[in-house]
Amino acid sequence: MAKGIKIRATAKKDSTTVKALMSHPMDTGLRKDKKTGKVIPAHFIQEVKCEHNGNAVLTALWGPAISKNPYLSFKFKGGNKGDSIKISWVDNKGESASQEAQIR
Amino acid sequence: MERRTFLKGSMAGSAVAVAVGAGLLTPQSVLAAWPKEAFEAKGVDNAMSTLFGSKDSAASKDIKIKAPDIAENGAVVPVSITAAQSGIESISILAAANASPLCASFDMGANAEGYVSTRIKMGKTSKVIAVVKAGGKVYSASKDVKVTIGGCGG
């Protein structure tokens, strides 16, 4: 499974905008496999942590109603070019991924 | 047509059992903070009570919801919330007609601005409700989104 997180963080004046795209099936547990007719078990990201220079900025708690390959965007005060942004997620199967990027 | 009937059937109840079953397999120790009950609560009032301790919230004009009036694909409905309150603790997004209305809840850190944007799934036409907790109070705003193709299936 591709575990990439694409992050783009841009600082403008005193506000930083972070946009992130994660690669995840986000199965609700309601959908059936067309070929086998079996229900695809729920598999979705539950928690996304966003850190700026090691400080938690935002924690997203998600249910299965977030779209496949989730998109997340948020803003925070402060943040300079070159600062590190770290985003990590954990899903309901205990899988996880994390990615670091620099503010541009 | 087949998909449509399936969507209706799955909304009814069997869906919840599956979701609960899957939840049991979850390594909960890793995610102690994840409010399982709130995400599985049926109906907006239940979800609100589970998450905030009360189903009541004050309607607020300081919360702006940016979402399409008509969503062509319910599986991908872009929603952006902007809240002007100070001291925002959390922003939650609920889709009123989903089997479990709570879509997401964002815990805001001290430096976070009152803005989040994501994409949600909506089973059918309903209100999208944004709930903002700031300074111990709960505010909300809602917007109608018409869905032409359901998105609960995936």
Residue of A nearest to B110 (CA): A57
Q: Model's pTM, two decimal places?
A: 0.81
Give me the percent of chain A exceeding a pLDDT of 90.
75
Contact of B72 with chain A, judged by CB distance below 8 Å, is answered with no
**pLDDT for B7 beyond 80:** no
pLDDT tens-place string over residues B98-132: 989 999 999 999 889 999 999 999 988 999 999 99
Q: From the list A32, A64, A67, which residue is nearest B119 (CB)?
A: A67
How many Å lie between the alpha carbon of B32 and the closest alpha carbon of chain A?
A: 10
Top-confidence range, A37-41, B19-23, B139-143 = B139-143
pLDDT computed for residue A37 by the predictor: 81
Chain center to CA of B39: 8
Query: Under an 8 A CB cutoff, do A55 and B103 touch?
Result: no
Q: B2-12 and B14-24 are packed helices; what angle lies between their axes, rounded to 10 degrees? A: 70
Probe site for chain B from A12, A15, A31, A33 (most B CB atoms < 10 A): A31
- Look at the block and give the residue holding tokens 């086998």: A36
pLDDT of residue B72: 86
CA B99 to CA A102: how far, in whole Å?
39
Q: Nearest 5 degrees, angle CA B108-CA B81-CA B28?
A: 45
Over residues B38-43, mean pLDDT: 92
Q: What is the pLDDT of residue B14?
A: 46
Residue A59, pLDDT > 60, answer yes
Q: Spell out which residues of chain A touch residue B121, defining contact as CB-CB under 8 Å.
A: 28, 64-67
Per-residue pLDDT tens digits for A88-100: 999 999 999 999 9
- Which among B10, B39, B153 has CB closest to A63? B39
Buried b (16+ CB within 10 A) or exposed e, A80-102: eeeeebbbebbbbeeeebebebe
Strand runs (DSSP E) across chain B, as ranges? 58-59, 63-66, 70-71, 77-83, 88-95, 102-108, 112-120, 126-134, 137-147
Q: How far apart are CA B107 and CA A60, in angstroms?
A: 6
Residue of B20, B77, B90, B107 to mutate, testing the A interface (most A Cβ within 10 Å of its Cβ): B107
Q: Are B5 and A32 within 8 A, CB to CB? A: no
Nearest chain B Cα distance for residue A98, angstroms:
15
ipTM reported for the complex surpasses 0.85: yes
DSSP assigned state of A29: S
The stretch B33-43 carries a mean pLDDT of 89
**Mean pLDDT for chain B overall:** 82
**Mean pLDDT in residue range A21-33:** 87
Rounded CA gap, A66 and A76, in Å? 22
